[in-house]
Chains A and B, each alone.
Chain A
Amino acid sequence: MAAHLKKRVYEEFSKVVQQHPHEEVPAKKLRLTKPSKSAALHVDLCKASSPTDALQYLLQFARKPVEADSVEGVVRILLEHYYKETDSSVRLKIASLLGLLSKTQGFTPDCIVDDVINTLNSERSHQVLAQLLDTLLVIGTQVPESLNMRHRLIDVACKHLTDTYFGVRNKCLQLFGCLGSVDKPLPRESEGGGTGMAAKDVQSIISDYFGDQDPRVRTAAIKAMLQLHERGMKLQQIIYNQACKLLSDDYEQVRSAAVQMVWVLSQLYPESIVPIPSSNEKIRLVDDSFGKICHMVSDGSWVVRVQAAKLLGSMQQVSPHFLEQTLDKKLMSDLRRKRTAHERAKELYSSGEFSSGRKWADDAPKEKVDTTAVNLIDSGACGAFVHGLEDEMYEVRIAAVEALCALAQSSPSFAEKCLDFLVDMFNDEIEEVRLQSIHVLRQISTHITLREDQLDTVLAVLEDSSRDIREALHELLCYTNVSTKECIQLALLELLKNLTKYPTDRNSVWKCLKFLGSRHPTLVLPIVPELLSTHPYFDTPEPDMDDPAYIAVLVLVFNAAKSCPTMTALFSDHTFRHYAYLRDSLSHLVPPLRLPGRKLTSAPEASGLASSVESAQNFLKESLTRVCSVQQLDAPGAQSLLEFTIRDLQRLGELQTELAGTADFCATYLHCQLLLMKALQDKLWSVAVPLYLKQNAMVSGAAAQVLEETYKLEFLYSGLESRQIASIHHVRLQAKALQLVLLARTRRGVEPLLSACEKFLHEVDAFQRLFVTELPHFQDSFVDKLLDIMPRLAGSKPADLVKILQTTLRHSCFPQLKLPEQIRRATAAIIEPTGESDNPLRFTSGLVVALDVDATLEHVQDPQTTVKVQVLYPDGQSHVIQPKPADFRKPGPGRHRLITQVYLSHSAWTARIYLPRALSD
């Protein structure tokens, strides 16, 4: 036997070599090692005296990767050994190895299916059976398109479904889920084994196992069904009842899967009608399942609760009646109806009596409740969210808050109702939950207007010591609608309090007031005199212009005044002066105002913003196509065209913020082209070197600039596709070629040139490898030409190479730049410390001082790893500091906020110094 096997190994070895006799050397080297791998394994396995040894060998073997071509051989050897092996644990390992091997890239596992199925039939051990089925599952998922194989595998699964071991049944069901045919019932000739179920379709086979005695099998059955759903099969509605029954299973994993199942069905058949048991009524399926899932929010297991709460959020088709029940909880005390605190607050507010002292028995129960009418267990959705929001586990609470958000966004009336509950969550014990509920409230704020008492509760959170919470709340206030002028006053008061308590919040508070003012001009108008403390007869002292609180008030007033022209009449003289000052110093917070006696300078707001964006986009496209024709023009014409286009694009970027990134990107790219073009002008190259030293300097400068620009292009913009990156690399390649040529012309000596040439060739090679798929777009370009003659280049001398490069550079055309969907320029704005700070930092030499850094990063991808803080000391030293990942916050899409502390220390300096800092990518 061993001899036979060895022969096989050698056969395989020779066969492989024959197959690729003409391959290059490195490839051949690779192949040479392979047969020895399977041979070694074989030898090892034969050597193994005990099952433990064999297992050890197999484990070692499993750690190393196997190449695609030798997999077959290895598999054969494994199978050979499998048949001989008596120990089930070794067989188990072999079976799992088979599965692992069939995942190897480039190996088509259909050839081993037969073997595996054969071994299945003779296998006694249940565990090994399960593992073999798992292997089949792997194979089946590897070749998803082969129908024939799938049917065979399903047959096998059918046969083993009745196994006594749960693992085998599990795997069979998994096979059904992953491979069961999606389109039609299994067309199978009924032969032995599971003949009874042969005629049935996959779904009913699987649903038979919903009632299995083992909870793991039940879970697997549901999961298989969900898998079918994911693969596009429409689940039948009949399983709805079964799924609902599983909701009360004893095991949490079953319940958790069942919740998902019920949800899937509710999304599939939302409108179909189901009867309510024990009554004649019928309701929509989505309502029924909504009720059931709501019920699961008070399940015993928190995993199920989280799941249920999450899924509730996505059930938007549910009827409003049911939806509103989720927030309903009938209170009673000693069988008397009691009003909730929310109801009381609302009543108090509407009766005009706002802040009442609490009285004993203020919440005294009112009318007597009819005992028969009280339903303690609510069959439906009653109070699901009330429970969810009060849950012990914060995971459940967060899930509930998120679900509330999703539901409220689609239903304004629900948003109004859930407001009280969300506001209550601001007081949660876990910060994450508080933050989340603030964010949620912001998201639904378009639907709601805060009442005064609610605003009061919201504003109370402003004193929170967590910066995140406060900033989230400021953000929320930016979008909030309030109902009365008292609300504005209250908000301003609390914000000012916030400002005095946490002076670092200055910017955030000002921004918040800006929006508050521009949103509610009419509410601000009546309180302006009070805010500015003006008096009809007397002049009041002029407030201090540097007081942040005063600035805050002014920001509010000025923003309100923007859409309320009558307000300016109420300003006193110094207010106008302050306006002029603030308009200059804080232009992003203070809008241009139409002041009496002064002309409004700024252009009227663009009315059709959308259309203007579109026209700008068109313009961008046109200019780019225009640039394409640059090839046909003579040099000066092309240059001036490029120059104009660059200028246009830059202007466009300034005007249209939406397109700024794209326009900038194009302009920079074209600028590179322009530089290259200038550098390659005829004059320079036709004349002898020493005469044009000046030009040489110009050209080398240009090349360096182009290089720098290309790095900027590559790393500063997000949203680039590989095609754009290829273009950038292409330009860089050109620049490098240019540098090489320059080097050849200016330097004497072969050594540096030789290594430079080699380096360049490597780069060309790398380019080819990186952008294989993009090469077709580079027809007739520099790289294209270069690659054509690549074999010749590799062998040629540096001097020849340079010559070739020079000609190709000058005669190749620029590849056209194609714009991707959206390009964003990464920017970083340092808010804190401000550059022109009046008080410089002082620190003692050798000691450490901490500096707070606060910066906003826009469109930076993966800032945790890419962003660093650079500190430049006055003596020219610089430190690069990597901020902690936790210092980055994500307030919105594409935006990051870096709030960190930088430790400064310098050995030689003790004097006061100004520290310029830069954020570098």
Chain B
Amino acid sequence: MPEIKVTPLGAGQDVGRSCILVSIGGKNIMLDCGMHMGYNDDRRFPDFSYITQNGRLTEFLDCVIISHFHLDHCGALPYMSEMVGYDGPIYMTHPTKAICPILLEDFRKITVDKKGETNFFTSQMIKDCMKKVVPLNLHQTVQVDDELEIKAYYAGHVLGAAMVQIKVGSESVVYTGDYNMTPDRHLGAAWIDKCRPDILISESTYATTIRDSKRCRERDFLKKVHETVERGGKVLIPVFALGRAQELCILLETFWERMNLKAPIYFSTGLTEKANHYYKLFITWTNQKIRKTFVQRNMFEFKHIKAFDRSYADNPGPMVVFATPGMLHAGQSLQIFKKWAGNEKNMVIMPGYCVQGTVGHKLLSGQKKLEMEGRTTLEVKLQVEYMSFSAHADAKGIMQLIRMAEPRNVMLVHGEAKKMEFLKDKIEQEFTGISCFMPANGETTTIPTNPSVPVDISLNLLKREAAFGGPLPDPKKPRTMHGTLIMKDSSLRLVSPEQALKELDLNEHQLRFTCRVQLQDPYSDTDTLSRVYNHLKSVLKGYTVQHLPDGTVMVESIVLKVSSSAEDPNTKVVLLSWSYQVTPGCTIQGSQLPH
């Protein structure tokens, strides 16, 4: 029984270090190769020894596919390819290929240069790794080898995020990566056709959440910013460099444009500038509005948003500043925050989640006095706002994707076990016939498949069959036909028996059944034969009965011969012989010859 095996090395009932192994039709594919933000030891990378205990990675894996550039999906890539050793192809979309090395380099810098870790991948390794990357286009079917093909679908989430369909023969797997079913200001919604994969591997970050409309959030956000700016206050928005930052920039930029506002907006420089450049380039990956209007004006060429300089923070008058990092734990955003915290006219907007222990988290939990390093306390007078701009599909979105793709099985990864449980129940309850899995890391799920085997049929045979029973092949009804199946060189062909014999250079053998019937008949052999002949002729009307000159009687294709037995001349032995196609019904009647 053919089967598909899926083993998560990371992201099984967990968020972070996404890495999933799929074995399908004899091919092994690694989906994503991420790192875990929560660990600083070996656990931050997936456990590749699971594969390497049986040999090198390159021998085992046919290809690696990266869904998008977030580090929990691609962070372990240089480690895997250069330090563990993998030389096969790595597939990712063009934007991912462009932005991924920037983030990896940044990640490397922080780990090695700031934290001083050794035994980490180097810049050269990142470059070498990126050389192995093969770029993918949306909806482009790429043949990895003769049998394995992959195809990317749009996933929303971040620029260049893709869902991939992996197909071997008629078996297929769809891996969603992270996706978003509701469009936002710069990206569209995920979309897939009804490809009916054997298994859909879906993320489930928000398995137990149904979100409110995006518009309310946006409106709230804009209103808050607008009010503060009008009052003459300053707005600080701590962000991470890529993804949400661009969305918020577009949001503010269009709002400024619409409302004719004059207050400056700044974006703290750094890797953002590089990234923004790529956002400008990959217009086809953005949403309808940006795609349609970029001819007049590229939305990422911001008119109102300018690069930030440290000295601007002390400028009088209103302004909006985007600063990294997003959780206010260090860097520029924290510096600016310290400067502005004392004035109640100012405001800080946290657009995302904050990890416990960071300044951002303390702020959000309502602390009014913050202890800074050096025993100083900072009094927080400015307003603190929280807005969640998250780009994962919620429970409804996941269900919607399942409905779009119509898979036979669903597997949930990239989420918390407890939440998955709920969604799993829901999926099994609301889609009849779909079973749902949620393996933990290292746990293998096996899914039996029932692939249809394509067979080439010879045209002659097909025409002959069509002549028999109507022209239209009815796809809903099975039909039996007569032919020979030749399996040669892993190809299957259905041909007519004659042709098969010819091709295989075999002689045709006829199979005949014989049977002896003893009769008590005093006449001579020939007389008996003619008596039999006459009888048959009278009994079997509607059949052709022939008396042949060589002393045989033929009923259709059945041959009768009479000879007297050696011992008793009165006992005649009737020899019956028929080929296998003939139903022996009529021959039995012949034995009841009257005396």
Q: Which residues of A contact B (CB under 8 A)?
A: 162, 164, 213, 250, 298, 300, 329-335, 338, 340-342, 357-360, 371, 374-377, 383, 386, 389-394, 421, 424-425, 427-430, 457, 460, 463-466, 501
Which residues from A are CB-within-8-Å of B498?
none
Which residues from B are CB-within-8-Å of A464?
258-259
Which residues from B are CB-within-8-Å of A250?
194
Nearest chain A CB to B150 CB, angstrom units: 21
Check: B313 CB closer than 8 A to any chain A CB: no
* Known A341-B220, A360-B386; contact A394-B260, beta-carbon cutoff 8 A: no
Find the B residue at minimum CB distance from A379.
B430
* Known A250-B194, A334-B419, A464-B258; contact A393-B366, beta-carbon cutoff 8 A: no
A331 with B257: CB separation less than 8 A: no
**A to B CB contacts below 8 Å, 11 in the list:** A335-B422, A341-B217, A375-B430, A376-B395, A376-B396, A376-B430, A424-B213, A424-B219, A425-B215, A429-B185, A463-B258
Nearest chain B CB to A331 CB, angstrom units: 5
Could you tell me the distance between the alpha carbons of A376 and B403 in the complex, rounded to whole angstroms? Answer: 12
Find the B residue at minimum CB distance from A341.
B216
Check: B212 CB closer than 8 A to any chain A CB: yes
- Interface size class of chain B, counting residues whose CB lies under 8 Å from the partner chain: 35 or more
B216 with A465: CB separation less than 8 A: no
Check: B469 CB closer than 8 A to any chain A CB: no
Q: Which of B181-229 contact A (CB under 8 A)?
A: 182-183, 185, 188-189, 191-194, 208-220, 222-224, 226
B259 with A463: CB separation less than 8 A: yes
Check: B289 CB closer than 8 A to any chain A CB: yes
Find the A residue at minimum CB distance from B257.
A465
Nearest chain A CB to B224 CB, angstrom units: 7
B259 with A465: CB separation less than 8 A: yes
B182 with A390: CB separation less than 8 A: yes
Nearest chain B CB to A329 CB, angstrom units: 7
Q: Mark B66-82, 1 if CB is under 8 A from A, else 0.
A: 00000000000000000
B365 with A360: CB separation less than 8 A: yes
Nearest chain A CB to B274 CB, angstrom units: 26
Q: Which of B427-452 contact A (CB under 8 A)?
A: 430-431
Which residues from A are CB-within-8-Å of B209?
332-334
* Known A342-B216, A358-B385, A360-B364; contact A331-B211, beta-carbon cutoff 8 A: yes
Which residues from A are CB-within-8-Å of B260?
463, 465, 501
* Known A360-B365, A392-B189; contact A376-B426, beta-carbon cutoff 8 A: yes
Check: B472 CB closer than 8 A to any chain A CB: yes
Which residues from A are CB-within-8-Å of B224?
358
Q: Which of B207-258 contact A (CB under 8 A)?
A: 208-220, 222-224, 226, 254, 257-258
A331 with B208: CB separation less than 8 A: no
Closest 4 CB pairs of A and B: A341-B216, A392-B183, A424-B215, A360-B364
B213 with A377: CB separation less than 8 A: no
Nearest chain B CB to A835 CB, angstrom units: 30
Which residues from A are CB-within-8-Å of B194?
250, 300
* Known A360-B366, A427-B215; contact A374-B426, beta-carbon cutoff 8 A: yes
A394 with B226: CB separation less than 8 A: no
* Known A376-B395, A392-B189, A392-B287; contact A213-B210, beta-carbon cutoff 8 A: no
Check: B38 CB closer than 8 A to any chain A CB: no
Which residues from A are CB-within-8-Å of B403?
377
B472 with A164: CB separation less than 8 A: yes
Could you tell me the distance between the alpha carbons of A362 and B396 in the complex, rounded to whole angstroms? Answer: 23
Could you tell me the distance between the alpha carbons of A358 and B363 in the complex, rounded to whole angstroms? Answer: 13
Cβ-neighbour of B208 out of A213, A329, A334, A358 (below 8 A): A334
Check: B404 CB closer than 8 A to any chain A CB: yes
Q: Which residues of B contact A (CB under 8 A)?
A: 182-183, 185, 188-189, 191-194, 208-220, 222-224, 226, 254, 257-260, 287-289, 364-366, 383-386, 395-396, 399-400, 403-404, 419, 422, 425-426, 430-431, 471-472, 475
Find the A residue at minimum CB distance from B366.
A360
Find the B residue at minimum CB distance from A333.
B209
B366 with A298: CB separation less than 8 A: no
Find the A residue at minimum CB distance from B395.
A376
Which residues from B are CB-within-8-Å of A213?
475
Could you tell me the distance between the alpha carbons of A298 and B183 in the complex, rounded to whole angstroms? Answer: 13
Cβ-neighbour of B404 out of A300, A331, A466 (below 8 A): A300
Could you tell me the distance between the alpha carbons of A300 and B396 in the complex, rounded to whole angstroms? Answer: 15
A357 with B383: CB separation less than 8 A: yes
Nearest chain A CB to B356 CB, angstrom units: 13
Find the B residue at minimum CB distance from A369.
B208
Nearest chain B CB to A229 CB, angstrom units: 28
* Known A331-B212, A332-B208, A390-B215; contact A377-B183, beta-carbon cutoff 8 A: no
Could you tell me the distance between the alpha carbons of A112 and B472 in the complex, rounded to whole angstroms? Answer: 32
Nearest chain B CB to A44 CB, angstrom units: 39
Nearest chain A CB to B132 CB, angstrom units: 34
Which among A213, A250, A334 has the highest number of chain B CB atoms within 10 Å? A334
Which residues from A are CB-within-8-Å of B400?
298
A335 with B208: CB separation less than 8 A: yes
Could you tell me the distance between the alpha carbons of A379 and B261 in the complex, rounded to whole angstroms? Answer: 45
Which residues from A are CB-within-8-Å of B210?
329-333, 338, 376
B426 with A391: CB separation less than 8 A: no
Find the B residue at minimum CB distance from A295.
B403
Could you tell me the distance between the alpha carbons of A333 and B212 in the complex, rounded to whole angstroms? Answer: 10
Which residues from A are CB-within-8-Å of B404?
300
Could you tell me the distance between the alpha carbons of A338 and B403 in the complex, rounded to whole angstroms? Answer: 25
B472 with A429: CB separation less than 8 A: no
Nearest chain A CB to B563 CB, angstrom units: 55
A392 with B475: CB separation less than 8 A: no
A427 with B384: CB separation less than 8 A: no
Could you tell me the distance between the alpha carbons of A501 and B259 in the complex, rounded to whole angstroms? Answer: 10
B223 with A460: CB separation less than 8 A: yes
Nearest chain A CB to B496 CB, angstrom units: 22
Could you tell me the distance between the alpha carbons of A421 and B430 in the complex, rounded to whole angstroms? Answer: 29
Which residues from B are CB-within-8-Å of A357?
383
Which among A389, A429, A457, A466 has the highest number of chain B CB atoms within 10 Å? A429
Find the A residue at minimum CB distance from B251.
A429
Nearest chain B CB to A628 CB, angstrom units: 61
B213 with A162: CB separation less than 8 A: no
Which residues from A are CB-within-8-Å of B218?
427
B188 with A392: CB separation less than 8 A: yes
Nearest chain B CB to A366 CB, angstrom units: 14
Could you tell me the distance between the alpha carbons of A329 and B400 in the complex, rounded to whole angstroms? Answer: 14
Could you tell me the distance between the alpha carbons of A771 and B257 in the complex, rounded to whole angstroms? Answer: 56
Nearest chain A CB to B411 CB, angstrom units: 17
Which residues from A are CB-within-8-Å of B217?
341
Cβ-neighbour of B399 out of A342, A377, A394, A457 (below 8 A): A377
Which residues from B are CB-within-8-Å of A389?
213, 215
B422 with A392: CB separation less than 8 A: no
B288 with A392: CB separation less than 8 A: yes
Nearest chain A CB to B303 CB, angstrom units: 13
Nearest chain B CB to A466 CB, angstrom units: 7
Find the B residue at minimum CB distance from A335.
B208
Nearest chain A CB to B174 CB, angstrom units: 14
Could you tell me the distance between the alpha carbons of A463 and B210 in the complex, rounded to whole angstroms? Answer: 33
A427 with B219: CB separation less than 8 A: yes
B212 with A340: CB separation less than 8 A: yes
A466 with B258: CB separation less than 8 A: yes
B289 with A429: CB separation less than 8 A: yes
Q: A465-B258, A466-B258 given. 20 additional CB < 8 A pairs?
A: A162-B471, A332-B395, A335-B208, A335-B422, A341-B220, A360-B365, A360-B366, A374-B426, A375-B430, A376-B426, A377-B399, A377-B403, A391-B183, A392-B189, A392-B287, A424-B213, A424-B219, A427-B222, A457-B223, A463-B259
Which residues from B are CB-within-8-Å of A333?
208-210
Could you tell me the distance between the alpha carbons of A330 and B212 in the complex, rounded to whole angstroms? Answer: 9
Find the A residue at minimum CB distance from B431.
A377
Which among A377, A460, A466 has the highest number of chain B CB atoms within 10 Å? A377
Find the B residue at minimum CB distance from A460.
B223
Could you tell me the distance between the alpha carbons of A330 and B425 in the complex, rounded to whole angstroms? Answer: 18
Could you tell me the distance between the alpha carbons of A333 and B209 in the complex, rounded to whole angstroms? Answer: 4
Which residues from B are CB-within-8-Å of A427?
215, 218-219, 222
